[in-house]
């Protein structure tokens, strides 16, 4: 079964670019890699999703190398409101299809 | 559109009892997934229902079960509660495949004493 590894925590400052990397081996070949954001006392919120190379939307970019063994979420010019826990999510097939969530990276943005 | 709703928001039960949690997905979403979130184990996938059929299942004991109704609303049941079942139970809905964009509810905080 696939395993995911993310840094437990990261600190940055307002206005900086933040990159969070998730390592994931043995993921399903034809499946997306997805990232979510979670604030305290709320459910996770979808940020971005990609299959390979680079995807960009209005809030983030996602970089996925050709071997798909990792993915990097890039948050441009963060603000205090980006303080949250960020999860990567991948799929894998064991006896059946499984969703594997990363343990989450607690990102703290300082003024 | 209204978001995903979960009831109740908070619940306190005694060890050995059973509990049923409810989830109403976003209108038009046919997939409902359930997750358990604890500080020690993080987010763990319980199961997913699509058109009233369980499509995927995580590695949880048979005490955890669920169902989905024809209107896509879903319930999750935990029997013979254990202290370790204390957690935030999250429901998420999506239009199609589970691995795609999911919308989460606020969760039900279950405390087992």
**For B59-105, how does the pLDDT look when each residue is reduced to its tens digit (9 = 90+)?**
899 999 999 999 999 999 999 999 999 999 999 999 876 557 899 99
| Mean pLDDT on B2-19 | 96
A53/B67: higher pLDDT = B67
Q: Which of A29, A71, A99 to mutate to test the interface with B (most CBs of B within 10 A)?
A: A99
Are A46 and B98 within 8 A, CB to CB? no
CB B4 within 8 A of CB B92: yes
Q: Which of B10, B49, B102, B107 to mutate to test the interface with A (most CBs of A within 10 A)?
A: B102
- Tell me the C-alpha distance between B29 and B93, whole Å: 6
Q: What is the pLDDT of residue B99?
A: 59
Q: What is chain B's percent helix, strand, coil content, to nearest 5?
A: 5, 55, 45
Q: Residue B93's CB: how many other CB atoms inside 10 A?
A: 25
Asked if pLDDT for residue A95 goes beyond 70, the answer is no
| Mean pLDDT on B12-20 | 98
- Tell me the C-alpha distance between A81 and A87, whole Å: 17
pLDDT, tens only, A26-52: 777 777 899 999 998 889 999 999 988
Tell me which residue of A59, A58, A57, A52 sits closest to A86, measured CA to CA. A59
Mean pLDDT of chain B: 93
User: Reduced to 3 states, what is the DSSP secondary structure of residue A50?
Assistant: strand
Mean pLDDT of chain A: 91
Are B104 and A44 within 8 A, CB to CB? yes
Q: What is the pLDDT of residue A94?
A: 65
Burial B20-33 (b: 16+ CB within 10 A, else e): ebebbbbeebebbb
Structure tokens at A107: 């990102």
- pLDDT tier at B3 (50, 70, 90 boundaries)? very high
Q: DSSP letter at B25?
A: P
- pLDDT tier at A75 (50, 70, 90 boundaries)? very high
- Tell me the C-alpha distance between A52 and B101, whole Å: 17
- C-alpha pair distances (Å), A22 with each of A52, B27, B52, B58, B97: 14, 32, 33, 21, 22
- Tell me the C-alpha distance between A52 and A85, whole Å: 23
Asked if pLDDT for residue B57 goes beyond 90, the answer is no
Asked if pLDDT for residue A79 goes beyond 70, the answer is yes
Q: Which of B42, B58, B104 sits opposite A43 (nearest CB)?
A: B104
């Amino acid at each position: 079964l696939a395993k995911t590894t993310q840094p437990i925590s990261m600190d940055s400052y307002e206005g900086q670019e933040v990159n969070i990397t998730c390592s994931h081996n043995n993921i399903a070949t034809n499946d997306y890699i997805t990232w979510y954001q979670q604030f305290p006392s709320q459910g996770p919120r979808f940020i971005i999703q990609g299959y390979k190379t680079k995807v960009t939307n209005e809030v983030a970019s996602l970089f996925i190398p050709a071997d798909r063994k990792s993915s990097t979420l890039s948050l441009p010019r963060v603000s205090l409101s980006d303080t949250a826990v960020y999860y990567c999510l991948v799929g894998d097939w064991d006896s059946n299809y499984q969703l594997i969530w990363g343990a989450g990276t607690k990102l703290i943005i300082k003024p | 559109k209204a978001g995903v709703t979960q009831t109740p928001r908070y619940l306190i039960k005694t060890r050995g009892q059973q509990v049923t949690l409810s989830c109403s997905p976003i209108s038009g979403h046919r997939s409902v997934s359930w997750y358990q979130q604890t500080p020690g184990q993080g987010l763990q996938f319980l199961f997913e229902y699509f058109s009233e059929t369980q499509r995927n299942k995580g590695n949880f004991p048979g005490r955890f079960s669920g169902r989905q109704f024809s209107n896509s609303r879903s319930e999750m049941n935990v029997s013979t509660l254990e202290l370790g079942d204390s957690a935030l139970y999250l429901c998420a809905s999506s239009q199609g495949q589970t691995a795609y964009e999911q919308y989460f509810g606020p969760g039900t905080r279950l405390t087992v004493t």
